[in-house]
Homo-oligomer: A and B are copies of this chain.
């Protein structure tokens, strides 16, 4: 029952997100930039980060919040830019993403680099509308959360560790540190940005932060499991790539069964944090934690 309600709610909210991205990723940017940016972010992806933002906003009573919608689009823009850059030949050199040729394959490397650069800036533009639709104080808080999640202590830092780890054995602690930054920081920030759109107690914020951290790590553990067990056409990207590239994953470090147990333990940790939050509307966040662990693509 809850799942049906969630599916219907998330379909409706994601349609709003898609329409907003379509509006904010401008068709009139110059010299092919609009085309490559729109190709890189529209019509694709599971939109987990926007759903986390919007579910966290619901949990703290910020329904239909313009700020939450902008935060949802901003985190997705940062995520999409990171995929474009990560796929480039000097990084993972991947040719397939979301079942389509990657941006650099479609538009060339220079355009792909610029599209990613412009999308990172656009994320902060989206967070700082110059009308009065989002209070300036909240704009500042959202920019601060997003910048820290995207930067050297977050996503970019995690990618640097990833780059340096090729062909090197990492222990579980180092692998966990890498993924907490590379994928976890932005997932956790999605939760915290949604929560910033409403009123929360310090207890709820701490609990949501722990929920976001556990969910973020669970997401990556499951990603590694799927990369080792699923075919490329199910994933919409090249499977087995990390192992082929001699990159450490939770499966290579822990083994498949222990990785699966780890994912379940992180799901339980996320649910326990929600239970402790004192929030009465955390049902969507709870379902998202389940879905992250149960997904098959």
Binding site for B on A (CB under 8 A): 26, 29-34, 37, 81-82, 85, 88, 90-91, 108-111, 113-114, 116-118, 120-125, 127-128, 130, 136-137, 139-141, 143-144, 146-148, 150-161, 163-165, 181
Contact = CB atoms under 8 A, between A and B. Distances in A.
Residue in A32, A109, A163, A165 whose Cβ sees the most chain B Cβ within 10 Å: A163
Nearest to A82: B117
A74 to B, nearest CB: 10
Contacts of A150: 117, 121
Given A90-B109, A121-B152, A125-B144, 10 more contacts: A30-B161, A81-B117, A122-B147, A122-B151, A124-B143, A124-B146, A130-B144, A136-B141, A137-B137, A139-B143
A124 B122 contact: no
A139 B144 contact: yes
Contacts of A123: 147
A160 B91 CA distance: 22
A18 to B, nearest CB: 19
Contacts of A153: 26, 29
B152 A118 contact: yes
A140 to B, nearest CB: 4
B114 A156 contact: yes
Given A121-B120, A121-B152, A137-B137, A159 B128 contact: no
Nearest to A154: B121
B160 A114 contact: yes
Contacts of A81: 117
Contact of A147 (B111, B125, B137, B151): B125
A29 B140 contact: no
A110 B93 CA distance: 11
Nearest to A146: B124
B118 A90 contact: no
Contact of A157 (B29, B130, B161): B29
9 contacts: A31-B157, A31-B161, A33-B156, A118-B152, A118-B156, A125-B144, A128-B141, A130-B144, A139-B140
A30 B152 contact: yes
Nearest to A130: B144
Contact of A163 (B111, B127, B130): B111
Contacts of A118: 151-152, 156-157, 160
B120 A120 contact: yes
A124 B82 CA distance: 17
A278 to B, nearest CB: 24
Nearest to A118: B156
Nearest to A92: B110
